[in-house]
Amino acid sequence: MKRLKTLLNLLLVPFVFLMHFSLFASLRTYLLRISLVLIAIIATPAYVHAEGSPGGDTGGTLPSSNNPTVWITPISKTITEGNSGEQTVTVQIEIDQCPDTADIKIQVQTDGSSATSSAGDYKWDRKYITFSKDTCNKTQSFSVIVYGDTDIEKDEEFYIRIYDSGTDNSQDFTWGDIDTTVYITNDDEGADLRMSKIADKDFYIKDDTVTYTLRARNLGPSPSKIHVVDSLPAGLSFISVTDSRYDFSCSQSGGTIECEGPRIFTIDMEVRITINAKVTADVYTTITNTATVDSPNALIDPDTSNNTDSVTIDVNVPGGRDVVDIVKTVDNDYTPGR
């Protein structure tokens, strides 16, 4: 294209010279028309194709979009739950420079983890925001409501995340941090659960019945459900189990006794559990049996050192004395006086 324009410039000079000095008006008119065409061609700017694009001219490149970075901040946030009402968690979605080719469209929404909207921990929400190439607000906000309660539970968390919501592919952009983790700190007091366990005696013999009495107690300060587990060790065979509370029950499978129910135990309230087992171990054996209590509703226990108790029994012969086998040998060939 550049060479063609140079050639036309050279041709234009003689045409203009002949036009002024021609004796014939018709020839001057013809030369004038040719000159105007050459001038129009020379004055028209050349279209330069992007490198590698159709047209073959690689003398320059077409403008392309810039590449802004989009992120969410902060990357984590902690909030104390409270016993009632609502609290607000606010995050920002930011961009470091405005797009220059097309609007950048972002979806921001909540996603559950150990905390969920269905359980009433927070209000599920979604929002669409736009970083416009015409009027760009580089920081935009998104807020979530967190609900307070008096449920006794462990600390929980959920996420606020950002997604591409259909940005025109002519506009490039890069992701920074794409989620905020919201930690909900439980401020309800925990319950100190205590297990105690005894056997009806210390010494047993094979085929005896041993009776264990378990007492699971809530020392407070908060009310809690109670969950008890007792796995019978080798040397004992399950016979039966009973409990002392309404809305609380026990079951057994494979020698493991498990007890729980919907009943809420307030401070100093306890349940007694009686387990009967048959001694199947051989003589001269000790058997240790352990029981554990915890909160099935994931309540925080301020002292877990008293959640377990064990009892050791001895398996012996009747009366607790060892058996001595006496063997008497008689010599029938003995003759007195010999």
Q: Could you say which DSSP state residue 4 is in? A: H
Has residue 79 been placed in a domain? yes
Beta strands in 148-269 (DSSP E): 156-164, 174-175, 179-185, 191-199, 203-204, 209-221, 227-231, 236-243, 249-253, 256-260
Q: Region of 2 please: left (phi>0), alpha (psi -120 to 50) or beta.
A: alpha
Q: Is 33 helix (H, G, I), strand (E, B) or coil?
A: helix
Q: 109 pLDDT exceeds 50? A: yes
Total domain count, the chain: 3
Same domain flag for 286 and 206: yes
- Give the domain-ending residue among 143, 164, 185: 185
Whole-angstrom Cα distance, residue 15 to residue 37? 11
Task: Name the nearest CA neighbour of 111 among 82, 83, 142.
Answer: 142
Task: Name the nearest CA neighbour of 9 among 43, 48, 59.
Answer: 43
pLDDT digits (tens, 9 = 90+) for 42-93: 555 443 333 333 333 333 344 568 999 999 999 999 999 887 889 999 999 9
pLDDT digits (tens, 9 = 90+) for 226-279: 999 999 999 999 999 999 888 899 999 999 999 999 999 999 999 999 999 999
Has residue 59 been placed in a domain? no
Whole-angstrom Cα distance, residue 105 to residue 170? 13
Whole-angstrom Cα distance, residue 161 to residue 141? 13
Domain assignment of residue 314, given as a range: 191-320
Same domain flag for 79 and 100: yes
For position 33, what pLDDT does the model report?
64
Same domain flag for 161 and 197: no
Q: Region of 36 please: left (phi>0), alpha (psi -120 to 50) or beta.
A: alpha
Has residue 296 been placed in a domain? yes
* pTM for the whole structure: 0.48
Whole-angstrom Cα distance, residue 96 to residue 69? 6
Tally: H helices and E strands in the chain: 2, 19
